[in-house]
Amino acid sequence: MPEPKKLFIKTYGCQMNVYDSERMAEALGAEGYVTTELQEEADMVLLNTCHIREKASEKLYSDLGRLRSLKAGKPDLKIGVAGCVAQAEGEEILRRMPLVDLVVGPQSYHRLPAMAKAAARGEKTVDTEFPAEDKFDHLPDRPMAKARPTAFLTVQEGCDKFCAFCVVPYTRGAEVSRPAERILTEARKLVEKGVREITLLGQNVNGYHGDDGWTLARLVRALAKIDGLDRIRYTTSHPNDMGDDLIAAHGEQPKLMPYLHLPVQSGSDRILKAMNRKHTAEAYLRLIERIRLARPDMMMSGDFIVGFPGETDADFAATMDLIRAVNYGMAYSFKYSARPGTPAAERTPVAADVADARLQELQALILDQQRAAQQAMVGREVSVLYEKPGRLAGQMGGKSDYLHAVHVMDRTAQVGEIARVRITASAPNSLTGERV
């Protein structure tokens, strides 16, 4: 038997990249690769990249620079670039970085095994097509090397919304939903392997529309019938695709967790319009009211961009007002980054120091809300899915229904168990609790 080849994957960007990395590892697993956590011992290094902001995409080139010495000492090492920078820059990556052996976009990675074979023959390949065939039909059926209690499952990919700042419609392509039957089969397979919580993924996951009128709400209801699957989450949602049936599902499906990531980006209607978001701040607030009517304890999460071209102090103040009105349990915020090829990149930017100051102010407010939401958990009973042993002996770490990290002293506990836990204390980034 030949020694298995070792594969090291570094994943940047969103959860969909995390999912894709797993599936790429499985595809290469069929070619005799086993994954390693140690880059130094790898026979192939695969960088699964993100193009969303300039900083994210520049990381690829600094990492490739660092790989030069590794490859110099190990000429047989193969280096691959996957993900959204691969899609956006294609051949350009080979020109700029001759040490790269293969470049593969997010819609063509089922061709990785063939590309790895070509690399072994010393050939360089680039595949950034949006092939007519469905990549999922050509990937191994979730062999999953490691058992674990949580998993991602991509149900929808791509985006047709073309927000003026965003590269996703270009890097991931048009919005496509996977057939419901395939998703249910994959979910059952994951549950057989010990998964108890599935997070459905899509760039606009709540816009999911499968064949025969399947909606995300119907998918959630079908998934909820799978024995052994105890928790369902989904991300990321767009406010305009939040249908009544999905809101209703939050009121009636106990397996659907009370945490919703619903990015709004800005609280100013003028900026929302310039962003091509196609909704107002008021419509977003009304939507959240309806969601909280169905599920009063819903923990809201969001994304914000500050310093979008044309953003004035008044626009920023409107964003701060919206944040106060919603009261987020968690939120991600970014300084606007001009992305080549997007409409907003042509516009006059906000001064960097102004954008920096706004970002700081916004993040301070979000942090206050986050801490308050955590503090409000103290004394409450939540369910915690144990994901891994904690740092202390006899301690378990997991997530509550509300997605808070919780540490529990529980000596007899097993990973994958869901325990009732009373929260006793709130630390900056996690909660502590005891089993009841």
Decide if residue 125 touches ligand SAH (CB under 6 A).
Answer: no
Binding site for ligand F3S (CB under 6 A): 13-14, 16-17, 50-52, 83-84, 167-168, 171-172
Decide if residue 166 touches ligand SF4 (CB under 6 A).
Answer: yes
**Tokens read off for 306:** 């500050």
User: What percent of the residues of the chain are helix, what percent strand, and what percent coil, each to the nearest 5?
Assistant: 40, 25, 35
Report the residue from 9, 45, 163, 180 that binds ligand SF4 according to the rule CB under 6 A.
163
Binding region for ligand SAH (CB under 6 A) out of 21-29, 161-169, 217-225, 312-320: 161-169
| Residues 222-251, mask of contacts with ligand SF4 (x by CB under 6 A) | ----------------x-------------
In SS3 terms, 187-225 reads as HHHHHHCCCCEEEEECCCHHHCECHHHCEHHHHHHHHHC
If residue 356 lies in a helix (H) or strand (E), which one and from where to where?
A: helix 352-375
Report the residue from 47, 50, 60, 159 that binds ligand SF4 according to the rule CB under 6 A.
159
Decide if residue 172 touches ligand SAH (CB under 6 A).
Answer: no
**Tokens read off for 429:** 């980034």
| 433: CB partners within 8 A, 6+ apart | 382, 384, 406, 407, 408, 421, 422, 423, 424
If residue 60 lies in a helix (H) or strand (E), which one and from where to where?
A: helix 54-73
Q: Which residue is nearest to ligand F3S (CB)?
A: 13
The pairing of beta strand 33-35 with beta strand 44-49: unpaired
Report the residue from 125, 337, 370, 426 that binds ligand SAH according to the rule CB under 6 A.
337
| Cβ-based nearer residue to ligand SAH, 55 or 286 | 55
CB atoms closer than 10 angstroms to residue 60 = 26
Decide if residue 165 touches ligand SAH (CB under 6 A).
Answer: yes
DSSP-derived 3-state class of residue 71: helix
| Cβ-based nearer residue to ligand F3S, 50 or 103 | 50
Report the residue from 19, 61, 136, 162 that binds ligand SF4 according to the rule CB under 6 A.
162
Decide if residue 87 touches ligand SAH (CB under 6 A).
Answer: no
| Cβ-based nearer residue to ligand SAH, 267 or 390 | 267
